[in-house]
C-alpha cells in the first residue's frame, strides 16, 4: 500500500486539517515535474534543429540540462537556507526557507514548494505545541485526582489513623529501568522513528501501535507514594479539600444536578465508583497521548517522504538540510508525550491493575476490531435465504389457492392482519437496520468518526457487515415463521389444533426479546447492552442527563410508531385470549383505542422531555435558547399526532381541518429544523452557496437532492391525514408504504446529522470524549476566591 493511503488512513479524523498536506505538496511536485519534462523536451528539440541545420553531429557534446542541474545541486548549501523567526507575543518559533536557485528558469515553482512546506511545518508545530500544553495541564489535574484517590484509599483502610502523611509523587520525573537498549521499541524519540530505519513504507499494524512498551517503574507497595524530593502532605488536609463529583448517572443525581448541589462528601461507597471513573479518565487520556504520538510520527514521516520525492524530481540534494530543521523543531525533538505515556502506564499498572502489566496494558490498549470473513459469508447466505423464502411464501399461497377455499376469507381477515403487524414490527425494524448499515458504510467511506460521536467502546462497535447480518437474520426468522404458519394451517392433520399456528408469531417475538436481553456474552453482547442502556435512558427521560446516543435513538423511535403499535396489538391479541377464537377485535376495546393514542405520542413525548430538561440546563448555564425551540417543535408534533389519531378513529370534517392545520405547521417546522439546524445547510454566506463551508461528500448535488427528498418525504406524512383515494392500493398498504418512506427519510437524516456533528468536532479539533473527574479539588487559590 502506498504511503499516501496509509497516511490518510492513520489520520485522526477530527485533526485532518492539522496534518501536513501531503497530497497538496504532491500536486506542487507534479507541476515541477511537468515543467522539468517540458524543459527537457524543448532543449532536446533545440539541439535537434541545430544538428539538422549544420548537417553534422558532435557525439557526447550535446547539452544535457539534467546532468548540469545534478552537478549544480551537489553543493547542498547553495539550494536552500532555513531561517528561524521568533514571534514576540508568544515566543514561538516559525521557520522560513529561502530558495537560493529562484533565478534559474522554473525556480518560482520550487520556491513556492518550499513556501508551502514551511506553512505546513509551522502549522504542525503550532498544533502539536497546543496539544502538548493541553495534555500537560490534564496531567497536572490527574496528579491531584490520584492524590485524592490514594488518600481516600488510606482513609478507608485505616479509618482511625490520625498521623498519616502522603508523599507527593513528582510530576516532572520519570525513571525507566531497562536491561539494555534493545528493550526500547524503535520510535522512542521522534528523530529515531524517521531516520533510524531505512523504510519506504510503514505497515498498518505498526502505525496503529506506535507507543512503545516500557519496563515499569519499581515502587514500594505500601500506602505511600515514594518521591524524589521527599515532600509530604497531610492526609487530612487532602481529604478536607476534596469533594466527590456526581456524574449524573442516576435519576436522583440528575435531579440534584438540576435543583441543587450534586457534590457529595467522600465516603466508602464512593471509593469504588471513583476508581472506575478514574480508570476511564486514564484510559481516555492514554488514548489521547498515543494519538498525539502517532500524529508526530506520521507528520515526520510525511515530511521525509515528500523531501525524497522532491530530490528525485528536482535533482537537488536539499532533503538533509531541511530534515535537520524538522528534526530539531518541536514535533521532532519534544519528548513530553513519551514521558507522559510512561507515567500513565506506570501509574495505571500500579494502582488499577495490582501491578499486573499485561492486564493493565490490555485495559489501556483495547484491541482494534477486525472484519471477519464469516460475517460476510453469513450476511450473503441469509440474504439469499430471505429472497428464497419470499418466493416460497408466494408460491405456497398460489399453489394451495387459499383465497378460493371456504376458510380463505376468515384466514385473510384474522391471520394476515396479525402477520401484517408482525411485518410492521420486524419489517420496519429490519428496514431501519439496513439503513443504519448503509449509513455506517458511508460514514466510514467519508471518514465520519461515528464511533467517537456515539461513544462506542473501541473494538466493540458494529460494522456495516455486522448490522447487515443481524437484519438479514431477523428477516429469515420472520419468513420461516410465516411459512411454517401457512403449512400448519393448511395441514388436515392439525385442523383440530387451530391454536398451534397462532402461537408461532408470539414465539418469534419471545425469541427475539430473549436474545436482546440475554446476559451471556454472545451475539454482540456489548452492543446489545449499549442499546438497552440508551433505550432505558429514553424511557426514563428526563431523569438522566441527555447525551447524543440517547436523543439520537429517541429521534429514531419517532419513526417507528407503527412498529410500536404492533406491540400493543400483540399484547391485546394474546393477552385477552383472542387468539383462541382466531378473531381480531382489539379495536372494539376502549382501552385499546386509548392506548392507540398514547403509543403514538410516547416517542415524541420522551423527546420533548429530553429537550425540556436540556433546555433548562442550557438556559441556566449557557443562556442558549435554541433547545427551547427544539422542545417547541416536538410539542407541536405531539399535538399534530394526537389530532391526527383522533381524526383516524372518529373522522369528521372538523377533525380533518384541525389535523391538516396542526400537521402542516409541524411538518414545516420539522423540515426547517432538519435542513438548517441538524444538517447545517442553507447558509447564505458560506463558501458553498446554500450549503455549508465544509462538505465531506464531494458532489454538491447530493446535498440538494437530500434536501428535496426530505421535503417530499415530510409532506408524504400528510397523506395519513388527506387520505387520497388510491384505488390500486389498500389503506393499510398506503400506511405501511408511508411508514417505510419515513424510515428511509430518517436514515438519510442520520447520515447528514452525524456528518454535521463530525464537522463541528473537526472545527474544534475535538477527537476525544470528556470524562468527568471523580473529585473536585479545592486548592489555595479557590479558597481565597471563596473568601
Q: pLDDT digits over 351-373, tens only?
A: 888 888 888 888 888 777 777 88
Give dist(CA 92, CA 84) in Å, integer: 10
pLDDT of amino acid 319 = 85
Q: Return the higher-pLDDT residue of 327 and 732.
A: 327
What percentage of residues in the chain have a pLDDT greater than 90? 23
pLDDT digits (tens, 9 = 90+) for 535-590: 998 888 767 777 889 889 988 988 888 888 777 777 777 776 655 555 556 666 66
> Minimal CA–CA distance to 371: which of 471, 495, 482, 463?
463
Residue 656: which pLDDT band, with cuts at 50, 70 and 90? confident
Cβ–Cβ < 8 Å for 773, 705:
no
Lowest mean pLDDT among 4-13, 224-233, 634-643, 764-773: 224-233
Q: Which of 209-213, 325-329, 406-410 has the lowest mean pLDDT?
A: 209-213
Decide which of 29 and 777 is more confident. 29
Q: Report pLDDT for 709.
A: 94
Is the pLDDT at 68 greater than 70? The verdict is no
Average pLDDT of 314-336?
87
CA dist 505 and 495 (Å) reads 18
Name the pLDDT band for 613 (thresholds 50, 70, 90). low
Res 19 pLDDT > 90: yes
How many helices and strands, by DSSP H and E, does the chain display? 30, 6
What does the pLDDT read at residue 204? 41
Predicted confidence (pLDDT) per residue in 110-130, tens digit: 888 889 999 999 999 999 999
Most confident of 85-89, 151-155, 184-188, 387-391: 387-391
**pLDDT score of 710:** 93
Cβ(16)–Cβ(127) below 8 Å: no
Q: Band the pLDDT of 624: cuts 50, 70, 90.
A: low
487 pLDDT higher than 80: no
Angle at 539 between CA 536 and CA 543, to 5 degrees: 90
Q: How far is the CA of 213 from the CAs of 172, 197, 293, 532, 749, in angstroms? A: 20, 19, 13, 37, 43
Phi and psi (nearest 5°) for 108?
Answer: -65, -30
8 A C-beta contact, residue 700 and residue 388: no
What is the pLDDT at residue 251? Answer: 55
Tell me what the pLDDT averaged over the chain comes to: 75
Question: 151 by DSSP, 3-state: which?
Answer: helix
Q: Which is it for strands 242-244 and 775-777: parallel, antiparallel or unpaired?
A: antiparallel
* 696 vs 165, higher pLDDT: 696
353 contact partners, CB below 8 Å, separation of at least 6: 359, 360, 363
pLDDT score for 206: 38
Which residue in 209, 186, 205, 210 sits closest to 197, CA to CA? 186
Q: How many residues does the chain have?
A: 787
How far apart are the two ends of the chain, measured CA to CA in Å? 63
Peptide bond into 179 cis (omega under 30): no
At 175 the pLDDT is 33
Task: Give the contacts of 620 (CB within 8 A, at least 6 positions apart).
Answer: none
The SS3 of residue 407 is coil
Mean pLDDT across 299-326: 89
DSSP label at residue 247: -
More confident residue, 116 or 162: 116
> Which cell goes with 647?
381524526
- CA–CA distance, 351 with 221 (Å, rounded to integer): 10
Strand partners, 265: none
Using 50, 70 and 90 to split pLDDT, how confident is the model at 434? very high
d(CA 635, CA 424): 26
pLDDT in tens, 759-786: 998 878 787 877 778 877 765 445 444 4
Beta bridge partners of residue 777, listed in sequence order: 242
C-beta of residue 129 within 8 angstroms of C-beta of residue 92: yes
Higher-scoring residue by pLDDT: 160, 639: 639
Mean pLDDT, residues 269-295 taken together: 88
- The pLDDT score that the predictor gives to residue 299 is 94
Paired sense of beta strands 165-167 and 775-777, if any: unpaired
| pLDDT for 410 beyond 80 | no
Chain segment 699-710, per-residue pLDDT in tens:
999 999 999 999
The listed range with the strongest mean pLDDT (169-183, 367-381, 667-681, 727-741) is 667-681
Please tell me the chain's helix, strand, coil percentages from 3-state DSSP, rounded to the nearest 5: 70, 5, 30
Asked if 601 contacts 638 with a C-beta cutoff of 8 angstroms, the reply is yes
**623 pLDDT tier (thresholds 50, 70, 90):** low
Q: What is the pLDDT of residue 592?
A: 73
Query: Does residue 291 register a pLDDT over 60?
Result: yes
Indicate the SS3 state at residue 86: strand
Residues 640, 543: Cα–Cα separation, whole Å = 26
pLDDT at position 164, please? 55
- Which residue(s) pair with 376 in the sheet? none
Amino acid at each position: 500500500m502506498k504511503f499516501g493511503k496509509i497516511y490518510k488512513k492513520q489520520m485522526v479524523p477530527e485533526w485532518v486539517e492539522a496534518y501536513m498536506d501531503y497530497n497538496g505538496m504532491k500536486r506542487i511536485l507534479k507541476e515541477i515535474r511537468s515543467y522539468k519534462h517540458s524543459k527537457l523536451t524543448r532543449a532536446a528539440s533545440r539541439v535537434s534543429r541545430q544538428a539538422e541545420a549544420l548537417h553534422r553531429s558532435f557525439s557526447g557534446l550535446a547539452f544535457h540540462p539534467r546532468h548540469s542541474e545534478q552537478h549544480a545541486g551537489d553543493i547542498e548549501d547553495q539550494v536552500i537556507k532555513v531561517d528561524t523567526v521568533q514571534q514576540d507575543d508568544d515566543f514561538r518559533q516559525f521557520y522560513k526557507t529561502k530558495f537560493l536557485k529562484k533565478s534559474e528558469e522554473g525556480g518560482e515553482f520550487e520556491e513556492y514548494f518550499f513556501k508551502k512546506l514551511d506553512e505546513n511545518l509551522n502549522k504542525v508545530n503550532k498544533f502539536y505545541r497546543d496539544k502538548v500544553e493541553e495534555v500537560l495541564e490534564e496531567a497536572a489535574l490527574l496528579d491531584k485526582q490520584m492524590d485524592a484517590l490514594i488518600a481516600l484509599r488510606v482513609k478507608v483502610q485505616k479509618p482511625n489513623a490520625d498521623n498519616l502523611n502522603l508523599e507527593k509523587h513528582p510530576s516532572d520525573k520519570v525513571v525507566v529501568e531497562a536491561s539494555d537498549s534493545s528493550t526500547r521499541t524503535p520510535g522512542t524519540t521522534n528523530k529515531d522513528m524517521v531516520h533510524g530505519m531505512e523504510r519506504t513504507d510503514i505497515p498498518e499494524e505498526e502505525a496503529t501501535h506506535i507507543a512503545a512498551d516500557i519496563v515499569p517503574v519499581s515502587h514500594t507497595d505500601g500506602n505511600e507514594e515514594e518521591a524524589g524530593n521527599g515532600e509530604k502532605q497531610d492526609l487530612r488536609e487532602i481529604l478536607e479539600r476534596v469533594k466527590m463529583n456526581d456524574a449524573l448517572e442516576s435519576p436522583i443525581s440528575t435531579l440534584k444536578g438540576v435543583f441543587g448541589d450534586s457534590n457529595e462528601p467522600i465516603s466508602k461507597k464512593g471509593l469504588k465508583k471513583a476508581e472506575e471513573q478514574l480508570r476511564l479518565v486514564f484510559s481516555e487520556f492514554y488514548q489521547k497521548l498515543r494519538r498525539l504520538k502517532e500524529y508526530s510520527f506520521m507528520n515526520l514521516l510525511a515530511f521525509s517522504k515528500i523531501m525524497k520525492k522532491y530530490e528525485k524530481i528536482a535533482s537537488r540534494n536539499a532533503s538533509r538540510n531541511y530534515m535537520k530543521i524538522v528534526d530539531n523543531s518541536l514535533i521532532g525533538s519534544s519528548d513530553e508525550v513519551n514521558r507522559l505515556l510512561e507515567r500513565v502506564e506506570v501509574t495505571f499498572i500500579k494502582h488499577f491493575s495490582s501491578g499486573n502489566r499485561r492486564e493493565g496494558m490490555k485495559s489501556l490498549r483495547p484491541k482494534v476490531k477486525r472484519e471477519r470473513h464469516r460475517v460476510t459469508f453469513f450476511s450473503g447466505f441469509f440474504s439469499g435465504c430471505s429472497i428464497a423464502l419470499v418466493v416460497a411464501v408466494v408460491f405456497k399461497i398460489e399453489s394451495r389457492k387459499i383465497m378460493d377455499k371456504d376458510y380463505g376469507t376468515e384466514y385473510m381477515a384474522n391471520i394476515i392482519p396479525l402477520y401484517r403487524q408482525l411485518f410492521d414490527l420486524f419489517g420496519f425494524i429490519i428496514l431501519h437496520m439496513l439503513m443504519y448499515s448503509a449509513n455506517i458504510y458511508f460514514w466510514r467511506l467519508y471518514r465520519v468518526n461515528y464511533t467517537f460521536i456515539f461513544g462506542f467502546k473501541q473494538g466493540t462497535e458494529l460494522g456495516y457487515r455486522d448490522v447487515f447480518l443481524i437484519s438479514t437474520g431477523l428477516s429469515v426468522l420472520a419468513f420461516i415463521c410465516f411459512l411454517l404458519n401457512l403449512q400448519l394451517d393448511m395441514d388436515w392433520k392439525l385442523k383440530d389444533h387451530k391454536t398451534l399456528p397462532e402461537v408461532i408469531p408470539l414465539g418469534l417475538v419471545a425469541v427475539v426479546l430473549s436474545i436482546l436481553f440475554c446476559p451471556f456474552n454472545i451475539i454482540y453482547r456489548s452492543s446489545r447492552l449499549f442499546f438497552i442502556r440508551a433505550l432505558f435512558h429514553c424511557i426514563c427521560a428526563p431523569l438522566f442527563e441527555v447525551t447524543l446516543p440517547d436523543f439520537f435513538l429517541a429521534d429514531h423511535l419517532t419513526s417507528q410508531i407503527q412498529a410500536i403499535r404492533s406491540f400493543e396489538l400483540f399484547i391485546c391479541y394474546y393477552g385477552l385470549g383472542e387468539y383462541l377464537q382466531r378473531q381480531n377485535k382489539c379495536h372494539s376495546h376502549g382501552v385499546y383505542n386509548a392506548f392507540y393514542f398514547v403509543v403514538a405520542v410516547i416517542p415524541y413525548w420522551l423527546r420533548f422531555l429530553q429537550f425540556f430538561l436540556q433546555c433548562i440546563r442550557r438556559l441556566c448555564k449557557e443562556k442558549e435558547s435554541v433547545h427551547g425551540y427544539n422542545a417547541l417543535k416536538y410539542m407541536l408534533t405531539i399535538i399534530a399526532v394526537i389530532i391526527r389519531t383522533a381524526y383516524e378513529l372518529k373522522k369528521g370534517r372538523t377533525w380533518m381541518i384541525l389535523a391538516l392545520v396542526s400537521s402542516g405547521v409541524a411538518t414545516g417546522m420539522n423540515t426547517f429544523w432538519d435542513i438548517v439546524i441538524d444538517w447545517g445547510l442553507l447558509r447564505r454566506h458560506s463558501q458553498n452557496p446554500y450549503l455549508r463551508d465544509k462538505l465531506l461528500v464531494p458532489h454538491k448535488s447530493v446535498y440538494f437532492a437530500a434536501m428535496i427528498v426530505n421535503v417530499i418525504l415530510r409532506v408524504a406524512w400528510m397523506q395519513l391525514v388527506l387520505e387520497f383515494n388510491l384505488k390500486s392500493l389498500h389503506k393499510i398498504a398506503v400506511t405501511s408504504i408511508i411508514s417505510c418512506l419515513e424510515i428511509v427519510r430518517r436514515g438519510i437524516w442520520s447520515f447528514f446529522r452525524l456528518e454535521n456533528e463530525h464537522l463541528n468536532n473537526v472545527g474544534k479539533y475535538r477527537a476525544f470524549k470528556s470524562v468527568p473527574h471523580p473529585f473536585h479539588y479545592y486548592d489555595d487559590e479557590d479558597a481565597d476566591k471563596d473568601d
